[in-house]
Structure 1
Amino acid sequence: MSNEKGSRAVTEPALSPEGEAIDQQASGERLTGDAVLARTRALLPNLPTALQKVGEQVMSAPAAVARSTILETAERSGTSPATVTRFCRALGLPGYADLRLAMAEETGRSSSVAGWEIDIGREIDPTDSLDRVANLIATAEIRAVQETVNQLDLDAVSRAAEAIDHARRVEVYGMGSSALVAGKMQLSLHRIGVPTWAWGDVHSGLTSSVLLKPGDVAIGVSHSGATHETLEMLSVAASSGATTVAVTNVPDAPLAEVADILLTTATHETTFRPAPMASRLPQIIVLDLVYVAVAQRRHEQTISALKVTADAVSGHRKGPRVKKAGG
């Protein structure tokens, strides 16, 4: 495997067992409000209990955090100012002032979109109209995509695209709903001439991944980053010498540990659409970006491939109905 894991420091805070962050501010890059919320949502399940309380307060009332002192936020979350500071550092923020600024930006941005905060996180009731449900799902998806793009490590996207462009073959692994995403990536890359296979069956995936070689690329897609089958297939690919890419919502998940390149997503679940189901569009957006970056690198080949493949299936499209004269 390559030694590029260290480049993930800007977008993935390394946590100590107490929730302290190893210094992530060397780059001087400041997180936006939606990136802070996306990171909080992703890290929350794995944070110590005290830090979870602060995170829950931030997620439930970002506007209140923007207006509050560190002592007030500590009191509302049932913790201490020191714990709030530790939470900020766990996110990769220097201190509470940066958290307040991020939440103020987020509150201002959200208020400019009518109904946004009303819909995000709202439960769907049995009596809700389809119009209301449609708006809720749409706003949740839009927000998830925006947060995904804002927090995405574009250098990691570039490195993934570069590896795929030079790969002998590419394999994409995913189970359940992630298998649908893996299949779409396979179709996209295969159509522009990149030999790509997608595996949603662990037996087939393992027999294929063990035959990979250095220079090949393996991509594992898993919302939780803890799906055993996907982790196993990507691990075998790594042991075979392939460059490994993880697409997950959890930056410190087991899948990320076996990946050379990490691409993270953000999700907004709604009633009847838990996070694993709601993660598909953000995953597709991330992999579409990788695909387009590959296509850019082989522009002439891509244009030619898209044309000949479109021509190849054109005869299987039904043409417009032609009206008979006098009919």
Structure 2
Amino acid sequence: MTKAVKETFSPDPAALAAKVRTLAPSLTRSMRRVAEAVANDPAGCAALTVTGLAELTGTSEATVVRTARLLGYPGYRDLRLALAGLAAQQRSGRAPAITTDIAVDDPLADVVAKLARDERQTLADTAAALDTGQLEAAVTAAAAARRIDVYGVGASGLVAQDLTQKLLRIGLIAHAHNDTHLAVTNAVQLASGDLAIAITHSGATRDVIEPLRVAFEHGATTVAVTGRPKSAVTQYADHVLATSTARESELRPAAMSSRTSQLLVVDCLFVGVAQRTYATAAPALAASYEALAHRHR
């Protein structure tokens, strides 16, 4: 059973820049050339017709139109309008910072500065591209869930643990699973009224997809937190929360850089749930603080 992930049109130029950076690694070579061209020179590309951009990137008009639609725009005309807005934003001095990769011989001061810029950019990209309608639906499902299972391995497993410990502190029943066998056997027990959340940057991690599929097939509401909105994991997701990532480099692979984006998304989810369940969440949170207070004196 496959669900189509609908792209939403957004005239926000910041959202365009975020989406280009997020989708570029998963595009075909020709579509990537178009995406990188519009991201690197929005003002120049905004002045081009669809034919002109195709000639500039060595692609076809059809490729340009497909790229525009993949980025969330109904057509090339809408993309040009967004590019003009992005160019104006850059001229005003509010453009996203472009950082260079960390070199093996960089001084630590430069490493700190580059990582800080990349972290800020990742958070801004994630916030700009996050579909609040999908987030609202995930919050509603979590607030009403009888039980919440969260799947993640590696760096995403740490994010899964972070989310579950937050949910536990406001009185919800939540479990993080990084063992596939345990995750699947637990997923079998889920049903309508339960929630399963899969966290995977690539969207292709089999150890995460398998338990989500089982939960989906048993009637649980499912959520995918992923940096690839058209990846395999989303075919079993009722709701998709897209993450962004800092630029991958030799010294900072995607598994590391994606964690910042994932943590922002799960924090947004948690705060939304805490707001929705405030009458019970606030006393539960206060009780958890009190139970641990003597350990911090």
- Structures share fold, TM-score greater than 0.5: yes
From 250, 261, 275, the counterpart of 1:296: 275
Alpha-carbon distance change, 162 to 116 in structure 1, aligned in 2, over 3 angstroms: closer
In 1, distance between residues paired with 2:121 and 2:19? Answer: 14
| Counterpart position of 1:144 | 122
From 258, 265, 278, the counterpart of 1:286: 265
The alignment's C-alpha RMSD in Å is 2.4
In 1, distance between residues paired with 2:239 and 2:145? Answer: 15
In 2, distance between residues paired with 1:30 and 1:214? Answer: 33
| Counterpart position of 1:58 | 38
In 2, distance between residues paired with 1:32 and 1:181? Answer: 29
Can you list the C-alpha shifts for 1:26-52, whole angstroms capped at 9, x where unaligned? Answer: xxx533223223333443344444323
Deviation at 1:116, TM superposition (A): 5.0
| Counterpart position of 2:254 | 275
Contact 1:246 1:255 in 2 (8 A): yes
| Counterpart position of 1:23 | none
In 1, distance between residues paired with 2:14 and 2:273? Answer: 28
Mapped pair 1:308 → 2:287: yes
Where does 1:241-252 land on structure 2 (aligned, <5 Å)? 241-252=219-230
Contact 2:203 2:234 in 1 (8 A): yes
3-state SS of 1:215 partner: coil
The TM-score, its normalising length taken from structure 2, stands at 0.90
Alpha-carbon distance change, 283 to 96 in structure 1, aligned in 2, over 3 angstroms: same
Letter in 2 for 1:273: R
Of residues 91-100 and 183-192 in structure 1, the stretch that sits farther from structure 2 once superposed is 91-100
Runs of at least 5 residues in structure 1 that lack an aligned partner in the other structure? 12-28, 319-327
Letter in 2 for 1:241: G
Equivalent residue pairs, number: 296
Deviation at 1:10, TM superposition (A): 4.2
Where does 1:168-317 land on structure 2 (aligned, <5 Å)? 168-271=146-249, 272-317=251-296
Contact 2:152 2:177 in 1 (8 A): yes
In 2, distance between residues paired with 1:52 and 1:65? Answer: 14
Mapped pair 1:44 → 2:44: no
Of residues 190-199 and 137-146 in structure 1, the stretch that sits farther from structure 2 once superposed is 137-146
Of residues 157-166 and 109-118 in structure 1, the stretch that sits farther from structure 2 once superposed is 109-118
Runs of at least 5 residues in structure 2 that lack an aligned partner in the other structure? none
Deviation at 1:174, TM superposition (A): 0.2
Deviation at 1:98, TM superposition (A): 2.5
Identity in percent: 39
3-state SS of 2:196 partner: strand
Can you list the C-alpha shifts for 1:7-42, whole angstroms capped at 9, x where unaligned? Answer: x5243xxxxxxxxxxxxxxxxx53322322333344
From 6, 9, 13, the counterpart of 1:9: 6
Letter in 2 for 1:280: R
Alpha-carbon distance change, 107 to 138 in structure 1, aligned in 2, over 3 angstroms: farther
In 1, distance between residues paired with 2:95 and 2:73? Answer: 29
In 2, distance between residues paired with 1:234 and 1:82? Answer: 35
From 75, 86, 90, the counterpart of 2:55: 75
In 1, distance between residues paired with 2:213 and 2:29? Answer: 31
Letter in 2 for 1:300: A
Of residues 50-59 and 280-289 in structure 1, the stretch that sits farther from structure 2 once superposed is 50-59
In 1, distance between residues paired with 2:53 and 2:82? Answer: 15
Letter in 1 for 2:15: A
Alpha-carbon distance change, 73 to 10 in structure 1, aligned in 2, over 3 angstroms: closer
| Counterpart position of 2:108 | 130
| Counterpart position of 1:26 | none
- Which structure would you say has the larger Rg? 1
Can you list the C-alpha shifts for 1:131-184, whole angstroms capped at 9, x where unaligned? Answer: 222222112121221121122111111111111111111000001100000000
Of residues 301-310 and 269-278 in structure 1, the stretch that sits farther from structure 2 once superposed is 269-278
Deviation at 1:300, TM superposition (A): 2.0
Contact 2:244 2:261 in 1 (8 A): yes
3-state SS of 1:252 partner: coil
From 83, 96, 107, the counterpart of 1:103: 83
The TM-score, its normalising length taken from structure 1, stands at 0.82
Alpha-carbon distance change, 68 to 128 in structure 1, aligned in 2, over 3 angstroms: farther
Letter in 2 for 1:301: T
Letter in 1 for 2:135: V
Deviation at 1:243, TM superposition (A): 0.7
Of residues 184-193 and 297-306 in structure 1, the stretch that sits farther from structure 2 once superposed is 297-306
| Counterpart position of 1:17 | none
Deviation at 1:276, TM superposition (A): 2.3
Deviation at 1:63, TM superposition (A): 4.2
